Structure 1
Amino acid sequence: MKHLNSILVAALLIIGVGVANAQDENNPWLIEVGVNAVDLFPVGLEDGQQASNPMRGELFEEFYNVDDHWNILPSVSKLAIGRYIGGGFTFNAVGTINRIDKIGDIPADDLSYYGVDGEINYSFRDLLFGPGGWFDPSIGIGGGYTWVDDIGFGTANGQVGLKIWVAENIALTAQSKYKYAFEDTYGIEHFQHSAGVAFKFGGKDTDGDGIYDQDDECPETPGLPEFNGCPDSDGDGIEDRNDACPNTPGLAEFNGCADTDGDGIADPQDACPTVAGLASMNGCPDTDGDGITDADDECPNEAGPASNNGCPQLDRDGDGVLDKDDRCPDVPGTVANQGCPEVTTEIIKQLNQYSKTILFDYDKATIRQESYSALQSIADIMKEYPNANFHVEGHTDSRGSDSYNLKLSKERAASVMTYLTTINIPANRLTSEGYGESRPIADNKTAAGRQQNRRVEISLKK
């Protein structure tokens, strides 16, 4: 029971110290389990002792005489918990148990051994081999309390140690510690050696990118080591924080944005990102250099003013009306008639000279074939005035009823208009109407007068 109480005291001391020994700031905590050996022989002779003393030898004498001097409990007999302090220093709380069955060369009666120690160690790893090296030697000092067969005494300790990191968080450990006893009468000076396995832990990596939060400048977003844990989503070598286009690979000179057309203007600022252009045109081309982008230039290969939609100010027919405003750009006209020729009184007379020769079958609206040449002449004149609209009028003499004459005149006028559309006069330029006997131009009492009244006339529609 006494031994059990001692074990509990040792465990409570280890936990209560709240200690720590870790190997770096990323993983500040460390736990070590292992075995220990106690050697009471190579601690130096006491005053008056002979060199041949079987219980104690010279300092470090037979230091590695495992078979003759070392007391080893064949089970897990060491537990250490620690925390990294900083600057290469760690603090450990260590608890050990053992059985003493030999003091030097003298057998002992299985004395119980319990130790609780606190120690500060300094690692030479970063100093000698750089951060993250696998070879990790250290030295340290400390103190503790040891019980041998229920007799306790305080000690001052000095130790050297070595960790071999076989994985990022796992190391094989070895340590030799000298314990100087403060009690002259019953304190026991001794060496304690140990070997074990250490596990460091406690590092936090919120985003799981392998970079601990304290070194991760973007701890909640997975990133890359070269960017201190920050991401580069598009893989263009510019981290997202400094990338104006984080999802599209780009160039450093454009803050991570692309210049697809290679015109020196980043795509987000380029109004024409797939076509090389000019900075003054927001990245769009101006092939003819007239200050109007090709997309808005109706004549992209010929320079012209914006007032003419980028086209040259031409006047092909020389009538003083620019082609852009000229409804008849190939026929000389007047400004008042939007560049088209004016239909004069003489032209109307000429049209009606031809229209007078149009003949119809008797009492019908069917145009006789010998009238086709006259109608073609009328159409040719109309084509010279593409901006003019014409009205076809039908008239009769007074013979017959008014209603019949009106109907026949309408049909004959419509027949002439229809024929003109078949020889390429647009229908929207023509209208027709019949007036019957209501507009005579001669006396219906004579045969000559009635002949003049039976007519088709063409007038200019205003």
Structure 2
Amino acid sequence: MKHLNSILVAALVLLVVGVANAQDENNPWAIEVGTNAVDLFPVGHADGQDASNDRQGELFEEFFNVNDHWNILPSVSKLSVGRYIGSGFSLTAAGTINRLDKAGDLTLDDLTYYGLDGEIKYSLRDLINGPGGWFDPSIGVGGGYTWVDDIGFGTANGIAGVKFWIGENLALNFQTAYKHAFEDDYGIKHFQHSVGVLFKFGGKDTDGDGIYDVDDECPETPGLEEFNGCPDTDGDGIEDRQDACPNTPGLAEFNGCPDTDGDGIADPQDACPTVAGPASMNGCPDADGDGITDADDACPNEAGPRANKGCPWPDTDGDGVLDKDDDCPTVVGTVANKGCPEVVEPEVTVEIIKQLNDYSKTILFDLGKSTIRQESYAVLQNIKDIMEEYPSANFVIEGHTDSQGSDSLNERLSNARAASVRTYLTTLGMSGARLTSIGYGESRPIATNKTKAGRQQNRRVNISLKK
């Protein structure tokens, strides 16, 4: 009974740590039951020691000499409680018991050993295997207190271990820890190895659907794993949160609502959900296609106007325009022209373009400027009158120069002269939207620039039909 106080202290600390960890119910706990071994030999030379001796060797010397150096109590001798705190880290409190009958090759007096340790460990599982792998190595640090018989001392611990997960919540845990004693006079440096069975548990599942609240997007409503714990009440494969009709099986394309008549319109938006009809009629049928639903159509199989309850008006000339709306009821016409024949606009021919350019070549400008001389106003009036005969045609006014002067100057001058012609034509009543102006400078000669006559031909305004 002489170690009863030590046992009670260890149990009390484990209980306090367990209660503290339990405050976050959404994080799983872990409990481990196993056995441990204490090795006092491979811990490094003591102060003043030059070589290994029977009691203490170099660091890691004969590290795996189980038979000669390891102190093992053949029973359950380790109990730990831990909690995962996130990002690969976990906190653990562990209590161990053992009996020491050897230190290296020396025989001891069967000393009692108690250890109480706190650990923080980092799991490399996700880095190595990805989430959920069975191989789970870890490293960690910690501190604790060790009693050998009635002598106690604190330790700083370095930890390495590996778990082998044999089930979702069950693992075999192998761990070794180097415990460095702070007290030089009576502290004992040593390695402690352990193997145990670890069981994860805890985690809150408010709705009892088997998915912990921390992973459950609908923690208070039982749901399905494929929907992260959210329900699919009508079983149509669309979770209720995204289902516009959560109590009636439907289709994904209609946000979970049904289309009973199969007309491509979901029942909630279908004015006739049991009879197929087009979307333009809100899902109701229109057999004659006159834009009036059959239910409201006095002649459902004959197209007719709404003013005549869906029955047809007479169309004497058969041009699709009812006599009451036909300005030419006995002559075939077009709907766009209120039942009268369309007037065909004459086509702009090559001859017309030539006539326009015959005029445009006579347009005169002030020397080196874009100002139109007054004697050209009559010519421009003639050009405008011809263009007005073709109200649907658009025209391009092109300015050209000879090669005298710089390229940039010629291009600016040709642009300005073409724009000047366009502007003058708009003052005569032409629509500016039908006219485009552009200058080509000296880039498109129609005669040689080496002679005066050739240069005169190159200084011109052309008019073309815009395609």
- Whether the 8 Å CA contact 1:265–1:283 is kept in 2: the answer is yes
1:217 Cα deviation after fit? 1.1
- Across the aligned residues of Structure 1 and Structure 2, the Cα RMSD in angstroms comes to 2.4
Give the equivalent residue in structure 2 for 1:155: 155
**Secondary structure of the equivalent of 1:8?**
helix
Cα deviation digits, residues 128-162 of structure 1 (max 9, x gap): 22222221111111111111011111111101011
1:309 Cα deviation after fit? 4.9
CA–CA distance in structure 2, aligned partners of residues 308 and 87 of structure 1: 75
CA–CA distance in structure 2, aligned partners of residues 18 and 277 of structure 1: 66
- Whether the 8 Å CA contact 1:19–1:92 is kept in 2: the answer is no
**1:213 has 2:213 as partner:** yes
Give the equivalent residue in structure 2 for 1:387: none
The within-5 A match list for 1:44-193 is 44-49=44-49, 51-193=51-193
CA–CA distance in structure 2, aligned partners of residues 189 and 305 of structure 1: 103
Name the aligned partner's letter for residue 166 of structure 1: I
Bigger shift: residues 39-48 or 154-163: 39-48
CA–CA distance in structure 1, aligned partners of residues 198 and 52 of structure 2: 39
**Secondary structure of the equivalent of 2:56?**
coil
Bigger shift: residues 76-85 or 137-146: 76-85
The within-5 A match list for 1:280-429 is 280-305=280-305, 309-311=309-311
Bigger shift: residues 1-10 or 151-160: 1-10
Give the equivalent residue in structure 1 for 2:243: 243
**1:3 has 2:3 as partner:** yes
CA–CA distance in structure 1, aligned partners of residues 25 and 198 of structure 2: 16
Name the aligned partner's letter for residue 269 of structure 2: Q
CA–CA distance in structure 2, aligned partners of residues 19 and 73 of structure 1: 29
TM-score, normalised with respect to structure 1: 0.63
Give the equivalent residue in structure 1 for 2:397: none
- Whether the 8 Å CA contact 2:45–2:52 is kept in 1: the answer is no
Name the aligned partner's letter for residue 53 of structure 2: N
CA–CA distance in structure 2, aligned partners of residues 107 and 226 of structure 1: 61
1:95 Cα deviation after fit? 0.7
1:8 Cα deviation after fit? 1.4
1:80 Cα deviation after fit? 0.7
For the structure 1 residues 20 and 134, does the alpha-carbon distance in structure 2 shift closer, same or farther, using more than 3 Å as the test?
Answer: farther
Give the equivalent residue in structure 1 for 2:232: 232
1:27 Cα deviation after fit? 4.2
Give the equivalent residue in structure 1 for 2:271: 271
CA–CA distance in structure 2, aligned partners of residues 206 and 141 of structure 1: 35
- Whether the 8 Å CA contact 1:20–1:81 is kept in 2: the answer is no
TM-score, normalised with respect to structure 2: 0.63
Cα deviation digits, residues 406-458 of structure 1 (max 9, x gap): xxxxxxxxxxxxxxxxxxxxxxxxxxxxxxxxxxxxxxxxxxxxxxxxxxxxx
Cα deviation digits, residues 288-320 of structure 1 (max 9, x gap): 123332234343212345566544579xxxxxx
Name the aligned partner's letter for residue 209 of structure 1: D
The percentage of aligned residue pairs carrying the same residue is 80
Name the aligned partner's letter for residue 278 of structure 1: P
- Whether the 8 Å CA contact 1:143–1:154 is kept in 2: the answer is yes
CA–CA distance in structure 2, aligned partners of residues 138 and 279 of structure 1: 62
Bigger shift: residues 211-220 or 170-179: 211-220
**Secondary structure of the equivalent of 1:34?**
strand
The within-5 A match list for 1:441-456 is none
Which runs of 5 or more residues in structure 1 are unaligned? 315-462
Cα deviation digits, residues 146-201 of structure 1 (max 9, x gap): 11011111111101011111111111111000000111111110000011111111
**Secondary structure of the equivalent of 1:233?**
coil
CA–CA distance in structure 1, aligned partners of residues 138 and 19 of structure 2: 18
For the structure 1 residues 217 and 163, does the alpha-carbon distance in structure 2 shift closer, same or farther, using more than 3 Å as the test?
Answer: same
Equivalent residue pairs, number: 313
CA–CA distance in structure 1, aligned partners of residues 302 and 135 of structure 2: 77
Bigger shift: residues 95-104 or 45-54: 45-54
- Whether the 8 Å CA contact 1:19–1:81 is kept in 2: the answer is no
Bigger shift: residues 36-45 or 251-260: 251-260
Which runs of 5 or more residues in structure 2 are unaligned? 315-467
1:53 Cα deviation after fit? 0.7
CA–CA distance in structure 2, aligned partners of residues 96 and 214 of structure 1: 33
